[in-house]
Structure 1
């Protein structure tokens, strides 16, 4: 185990090591000054600055000041969650290790505190533990007070400030978090995780302590739907005073090969960031387009996906609009129905060619929402409460329920046609016949023949800004997940195998828009066009 405690290194008859005055114990220091003094006392254990003392970068000091400098009338920190998002290579590991030690054995330590670091897997979790262990070994005052358990990735404080406190490395691939009472938790590279279960467990456990603090330090995730992106976007609104966000990222429309941009978004540029390696990766990104998104994401902290989506997120967001649904009643429209299997997402889309408006409805079994959230990593229950998804009774999609809603929706508009995927439609057609629901149904293939022109029509509307959608988050999720496969002739279809999640809403929308595109528009009277009417 490598146990290490008070006196463990002393031999009989050897005088104990003389105690030196530690810089953060100096009288008159503010809370922020004590934390800074502790951090800049720590040794750097690896890299080009190994052997020297840590020197906080200006943005790191600003981060610390924002967290520990904001207190209420009782002197307690007001910041409960802090988010620091910046490109890789800017001293993240050293900062996290220092803050964890600060709360474990430094000026922020408390008796029987609990410090946790979370990461995507055991390997990532080990990196921070190893850095903390190296610092402890390099500082005699720390080394003689701590018991380092390397196998379990646990550090215990046996004496002095923080006596009885423990640090433990957690990984998202091991379900954990219940029953904890963290003084401090840090999530390293949150963008890499596929589920927010451990994050939620850590955050909800903060209520067990008066000054519990959670810190997320990560490059940006690739999509708007990732839990980290949702966390960052909510923090940007500034509505929660207990959340602090420090964001360092290149603008969405930035030139990724601008040398001045590189320096602007990398705080450690010219200090300890490996510029040679950085420029080597930039050259690779120029030569290999497939590597460019990864370079933009990791080195410039841009929200960019490694694989090109069918529709770019900025283009889709630009089409969001406030749609007065009442004004669409009775208007000409085309429907697209993507029926799911028993437990998946069923989607219906309505496209109004005269206005460019696109509406969508979604259904999902009520009894399986908890498991669906864990599997798909999206807030289905929240969307149900907000009215973006309708929960059907039971554990499987109730096709009778869907048919009834289809009839109700279709009755509101002048439905010219309903494009549908043949899969699973026999039962729906039987229910429609039994219920007397009559609609102009048209089978729509999911291969290149039908989908290629449909996707072309969708793309044209979006790129020309002629599509209007009400920003339904379930539909936006489907758009963000969609990847198109191309055949030798250049035709495209949506590829569910390559998709990163559900795409049913976009599939339904593409069928509705495709049907509208290939249906001739009704001819208008030449006299009506000239403004001549006969009573």
Structure 2
């Protein structure tokens, strides 16, 4: 691939001749930050051997208030009447609603107020959100720029040379994107631009576009050279008070953006868990659920084993198990917790090997990487064989004193048969020698409400320790709860962003442990041979 540095230079120099039209730097010339220059160069420098541009799609995802609109307003003008202009071009800024679509249009109009040498060639019709190059001898003669929204009709006849979709993550679908992108098929130098913070949905068109744009082969080369994607986001499991993470999502903090507002928002989110999801999405540009999950990321990170140490279990020690069995073609989770006062946690996950690539794309989860690092056990074929799970339970039962296995009865009939076949007879009620005590744990309010409460209490009191298993962390971070009229709580699988199997299994294990502690009979001091009555 060839690089046309002069083309990118022209775009950069054009934008830096424009004036900032509002804000604290009103009236000053634009000075692009290095991250903005890098994005522009990655878009405009790559060319084919015949000189035609390589890049036809460009994505910039960064936290709110990092002057995306100003940057893209400069690109609009560069395409309308600047170095990228061409006769009779069609240029659009688009968004979900018309007010959002006009943000960039209004920015362009304000920029032109400080550029009379450009404005004299243009006819601005603000009532129709339209700008036309009216001078026949000007760059881009006959070109038109318009603001569009998803509700505008009659877009199928367009032929966009350049368009920008502002805050694509807020769109409910990709209909407008598809219409505009498809309209570029016969254009000589088409360019489709997206600027947006991330959305929580890994299957949203924006998420898929970002993921596709970031993919690399084993040599680090882009799989799709026609797409440029620059993502500025904090690390998924970061501390919200870590200022270095703020900078990852807000590159303008290094140059001109003040830290006061983000510091105040971070402090509030640290105090109020219900604010954390919003802070992570808006300020850290993370792909998080907008609803408040049962356990916040910071709270879950707070009970991680220190210094990245593994969680250890001793042979023969009492433990509880809990199983959330999938439909045999999805994620299955088995959790083990210690029976002592501090609950140590270990989890195992299974998925059919043949479905790992498909499900990684579907869920936006790197199952393949988790399999390579040992966090995910893959089984041959397209189905999880219940015997595989039964053998793991038998292995744990041979190593530890399993006080009980809590399980969701759905999809487990075959599993129970396999347990019998290998000599680990499942029994309900009291424990029996040579048998595995199993507890049918319902998924309704009666069983799950105390399990959810036990889970929450273990985190709040910091009496739980986990080893950072990324799949368990994913499940916990996805777990939303619903509440009935009586205040009972259960996991809301319908609203949860993604898989929560591990969180369900952990809650069942904690619920069983807590139930049995409450039900344990009080021990009389007279039954203790070492008890001595105090002398008053």
Provide the TM-score with structure 1 as the length reference: 0.61
Question: Distance between the aligned counterparts of 1:31 and 1:212, measured in 2?
Answer: 15
Question: Distance between the aligned counterparts of 1:195 and 1:233, measured in 2?
Answer: 17
Question: Distance between the aligned counterparts of 1:410 and 1:270, measured in 2?
Answer: 50
Aligned residue number for residue 88 of structure 2: 112
Question: Distance between the aligned counterparts of 1:275 and 1:108, measured in 2?
Answer: 36
Question: Distance between the aligned counterparts of 1:262 and 1:80, measured in 2?
Answer: 30
Question: Distance between the aligned counterparts of 1:353 and 1:276, measured in 2?
Answer: 43
Aligned residue number for residue 325 of structure 1: none
Aligned residue number for residue 77 of structure 1: 53
Change (3 A) 1:59 1:243: same
Question: Distance between the aligned counterparts of 1:39 and 1:83, measured in 2?
Answer: 19
Aligned residue number for residue 483 of structure 1: 480
CA shift for structure 1 position 32:
1.5
CA shift for structure 1 position 48:
0.9
- Equivalent residues in 2 for 1:510-525, closer than 5 Å: none
1:428-463 deviation per Cα after TM superposition (whole angstroms, max 9, x unaligned):
xxxxxxxxxxxxxx9996531144478799999x96
Q: Is 1:85–1:217's contact at 8 Å kept on the other side of the alignment?
A: yes
* Secondary structure in 1 matching 2:253: coil
* Secondary structure in 2 matching 1:191: helix
- Equivalent residues in 2 for 1:43-54, closer than 5 Å: 43-54=19-30
Aligned residue number for residue 144 of structure 2: 166
Question: Distance between the aligned counterparts of 1:74 and 1:284, measured in 2?
Answer: 55
- Equivalent residues in 2 for 1:309-388, closer than 5 Å: 309=293
Question: Distance between the aligned counterparts of 1:291 and 1:209, measured in 2?
Answer: 45
Change (3 A) 1:141 1:313: same
* Secondary structure in 1 matching 2:279: helix
Aligned residue number for residue 127 of structure 2: 151
Question: Distance between the aligned counterparts of 2:106 and 2:267, measured in 1?
Answer: 32
State which drifts further: 41-50 or 488-497: 488-497
Aligned residue number for residue 199 of structure 1: 177
The answer to whether residue 244 in structure 2 is matched with residue 257 in structure 1 is: no
Question: Distance between the aligned counterparts of 2:32 and 2:112, measured in 1?
Answer: 19
The answer to whether residue 98 in structure 2 is matched with residue 122 in structure 1 is: yes
Q: Is 1:494–1:507's contact at 8 Å kept on the other side of the alignment?
A: no
Q: Is 2:235–2:245's contact at 8 Å kept on the other side of the alignment?
A: no
CA shift for structure 1 position 112:
1.1
Aligned residue number for residue 370 of structure 2: none
Q: Is 2:408–2:442's contact at 8 Å kept on the other side of the alignment?
A: no
Question: Distance between the aligned counterparts of 1:508 and 1:300, measured in 2?
Answer: 26
1:451-486 deviation per Cα after TM superposition (whole angstroms, max 9, x unaligned):
4478799999x96789989xxxxxx9x998762125
Aligned residue number for residue 267 of structure 1: 251
- Equivalent residues in 2 for 1:490-501, closer than 5 Å: 492-495=489-492, 499=495
User: What is the RMSD computed on CA atoms of the aligned residues?
Assistant: 4.9
Question: Distance between the aligned counterparts of 2:350 and 2:254, measured in 1?
Answer: 50
CA shift for structure 1 position 99:
0.3
The runs of 5 or more residues in structure 1 that have no matched partner are 1-27, 316-332, 338-346, 361-378, 384-408, 422-441, 470-475, 519-535
Q: Is 2:481–2:492's contact at 8 Å kept on the other side of the alignment?
A: yes
Q: Is 1:40–1:54's contact at 8 Å kept on the other side of the alignment?
A: yes
Size of the aligned set, in residue pairs, is 401
CA shift for structure 1 position 164:
1.4
Change (3 A) 1:446 1:287: closer
CA shift for structure 1 position 88:
2.0
Question: Distance between the aligned counterparts of 1:205 and 1:232, measured in 2?
Answer: 21
- Equivalent residues in 2 for 1:497-508, closer than 5 Å: 499=495
Question: Distance between the aligned counterparts of 1:120 and 1:269, measured in 2?
Answer: 28
Question: Distance between the aligned counterparts of 1:40 and 1:335, measured in 2?
Answer: 59
- Equivalent residues in 2 for 1:70-469, closer than 5 Å: 70-159=46-135, 160-174=138-152, 177-237=155-215, 238-263=222-247, 265-269=249-253, 271-309=255-293, 419=409, 447-452=444-449
CA shift for structure 1 position 100:
0.7
Aligned residue number for residue 431 of structure 1: none
Question: Distance between the aligned counterparts of 2:186 and 2:296, measured in 1?
Answer: 42
1:310-366 deviation per Cα after TM superposition (whole angstroms, max 9, x unaligned):
688999xxxxxxxxxxxxxxxxx99678xxxxxxxxx99877899955569xxxxxx
Question: Distance between the aligned counterparts of 1:43 and 1:36, measured in 2?
Answer: 13
CA shift for structure 1 position 305:
2.7
Question: Distance between the aligned counterparts of 1:496 and 1:197, measured in 2?
Answer: 28
Provide the TM-score with structure 2 as the length reference: 0.61
* Secondary structure in 2 matching 1:151: helix
CA shift for structure 1 position 50:
0.8
